[in-house]
Every structure is written in C-alpha cells, then in structure tokens.
Structure 1
Amino acid sequence: MPHFIIECSKNIIEIKTPDEIMQQVYNAAEESNLFAEGDIKVRIKPYDFYNNGNQKADFIHIFGYILQGRTVEQKANLTKRIVERVEAMFADVPIISMNIDDFEKETYCKHS
C-alpha cells in the first residue's frame, strides 16, 4: 500500500541512477517494519524546470502516502529513516525533505 514519490531536480539522477535512489527509499521503508513485504511502491519524478527560492539549487522531496493507523511517532521515525538514507547518498544536495500523508481506509480503493 504505501506509495513513496520522489520529486527531484534532474541533476539528481545524473549523480545516482533512479533505481539506486528508489531502492534506498524502498529499503528504508521496509526496515521500518510498518508495511507488509512487497507492498511498498516507489516512483521518481525528476524535474528540468523548478524554482527553489528564486535559485536553481538541487533538491529532493519525498511524498509518502500511507494508510491511516500509524502513530505520529511511527511516521516521524519513518520520515527520519528515509531522509537519513537519502542524505547519505547526496551529502552535497542542499534541499532534502519529506512529508507523510495518510490515506483514509474508507476512501481508498484499488483493483485487486
């Protein structure tokens, strides 16, 4: 169920491959023990065009979408774990951030 969408400046995928980046996010999420094995989905969207405070600074932002039911502490730990993993890969990238949003169980539907 959990979806992690990595948005980044295009330069990021020239430093590390998209597969390397996505795998590190996947590994960090899996190591949190919050999700069933095989349920984690990760995608990446590099941008050619962006404006960060009127600068062209490289950035990585990860949007996490998970089913409701985790505590604030669990979500904070997950965020910290993923950001630390990404920071280890990109020490020189000035903007690395993440947020988590909850899906409501009652309004989530997928084809199965």
Structure 2
Amino acid sequence: MDTAHARELLARERARVERELADLRTSDNADEELSHVDQHPGDEGTELFERERDAGFTDQLHDELAAIERAEQRLADGSYGRSVESGAPIPDARLEAVPWAERTVEEQAAYERR
C-alpha cells in the first residue's frame, strides 16, 4: 500500500476515534447533570446500563487508538503492511478495511482463539 494513502487512512481513523471518545465524554457530562433530578427507579437501571455500555465503548476506542498509534509507528519505521508475527504482507484490501491491522486475517483469527 502506498505510504501516503496509509497515512491518510490512519489519520481518518484517528480522527474518528478521537471524535467518538469526545462524544462519549460529552454524553457522560450531560448524564451527570440530569442525574440529580428525581427519577423513577427504572430510570436508574437504564442509566446504569448506559454507563456500562459507554465504558465498554470507551475501552474499545482506547484499544483502537493504541492500535492506530502502533500502526503509525510501523509506518514511520517502514514495517507497515507486514504482519507483526510472521512478517508476511497484509493484503491491501485488509488494510483498507482495518488500517491498523497487525496481522493477516488467518493470523488474527489464530491470535483471537488463544
């Protein structure tokens, strides 16, 4: 994959993740402001569910941001587009879909089964 295109893809994904994290922080602040209003007990359960869901999203976004940072480092050192495990080339179609991919599809599947 062309370095400039890879840089563009990673920048786009970084911006998306940072925007989603900011949106979650804004949502959390708005929820805190409303939590002091008298509420039905069922609303408390809904709020708890939403806080836990948002915490999960936040963790996932932080993981993606860390992976994007590692991909940017690989781009800088010239190893972008190669598996971190085997050094095999990662197909461009995979990098288009997941610009921060660290492994081939097969290696990722095996990694996730561990």
**The two structures share one fold, judged by TM-score above 0.5:** no
TM-score (norm 1): 0.29
Give the strand-richer structure, 1 or 2: 1
TM-score (norm 2): 0.28
Structure of higher CA gyration radius: 2
Higher RCO (CA 8 Å, separation ≥ 6 residues) = 1
Give the helix-richer structure, 1 or 2: 2
